[in-house]
Amino acid sequence: MANVVVVGAQWGDEGKGKIVDWLSERADVIARFQGGHNAGHTLVIDGKVYKLSLLPSGIVRGGKLSVIGNGVVLDPWHLREEIAKLQGQGVDITPENLMVAENTPLILPVHGELDRAREGQNTVAKIGTTGRGIGPAYEDKVGRRAIRVADLADRDTLVARVDRLLQHHDTLRRGMGLPEVDRDALIAQLEEIAPSLLQYAAPVWKVLAEKRKSGKRILFEGAQGALLDIDFGTYPFVTSSNVIAGQAATGTGMGPGAIDFVLGIVKAYTTRVGEGPFPAELFDADGQRLGERGHEFGTVTGRQRRCGWFDAVLVRQTCATSGVSGIAFTKLDVLDGFEELKICVGYELDGERLDYLPTAADQQARCTPIYETMPGWSESTEGARSWADLPANAIKYVRRVEELIECPVALLSTSPERDDTILVTDPFAD
């Protein structure tokens, strides 16, 4: 049976939550493979709104196994709150339908404190983090001093891990003028949260291998977008993990051979939150209109997103680095009513034309967009469920996007509602 990876192909906020939820009807397992609770997914099901940060989008469906993989950094207190909130909305969450990888690193209060202190003291170039401790938690993971889920099960191990962690953090905090961490209080906090988290702990790599052997369909869910990838994004204005599709393998413990289809989620225009280059950004009435019509505010932070025309250069690039098989094109209805639309088809840098975004940050900042103009449409695309429901110019726009990004449209989303989706190619088809 086919297994599918879903990745954001822009700077995040492309509408992954709805698409993953829509696809989860065809999947048996939904696995989250990177990021933390800095990512937000909003699902609208039968008029009811669910806001998720850590939990895989499939959790709102009955009869599915949701998995948080080792590529995620996990704030256990936030997870407990998120579970309680969804349970209050009538969602059933138990160890039978939610598993957390035993080797998942934890986000601790010290990580959030360090994250916020660094951003507050940074007078050179702010990264624009959410201040939730994601970056410092990944640093501790690669520094081999992280506390992982399995460590909570044994007090001696936990104490040893905390001591190793604080040897590093207290040194940092002294240098930043912060008080040292209260060791005993931190240990007490972790012992208090341990039972809540350990009930979901499992050898996820083993569970997924068994599911695959038995022919179950696995849906791998990413957070953020490929342009925020630590290696291939607009560094240093990126997240602290790999976001591209290859991370689905290492972030869950499955080999790359388990991936059969990569679905890139692509918004019909471009947005980003926080700092960093954005060649196609708009500062005029069109940009404001896109933001207002698209309700462009972060699910987690509430920060207003920067808006611009569709950037085919960036999406072609992310389709290549993630090996995208097909895209899910979202929020087409936001473009309804524009007399004309623009697509960024290249950049000009110091008098030269480029067909990719350069790696060097100073060059990225100097890139200016080269636009192609297309006629818009006055009819509504909202709620369309077949190509026949779309205006002719909307279809031309979609087809031109396919040509420019060198990747076909597999799904077309025309509203936040689950069923307002046009299926072109089923990613789960064998």
Q: Which amino acids are annotated catalytic?
A: 13, 41
* CA atoms of 90 and 152, how far apart (whole Å): 29
Angle, nearest 10°, between helix axes 134-142 and 109-121? 110
Residue 63 DSSP code: T
Question: Which string of b and e fits 321-358 if b means at least 16 CB within 10 Å?
Answer: bbbbbbbbbbbbbbbbebeebbbbbbbebeeeeeeebe
How is residue 421 written in tokens? 């989706």
Beta-carbon contacts of 326 under 8 Å, excluding residues fewer than 6 positions away, are 261, 263, 264, 407, 408, 409, 410, 411, 424, 425, 427
- Amino acid identity, residue 399? R
Alpha helix locations (H) across 357-418? 361-366, 392-405
The β-bridge relationship of strands 368-375 and 340-349 is antiparallel
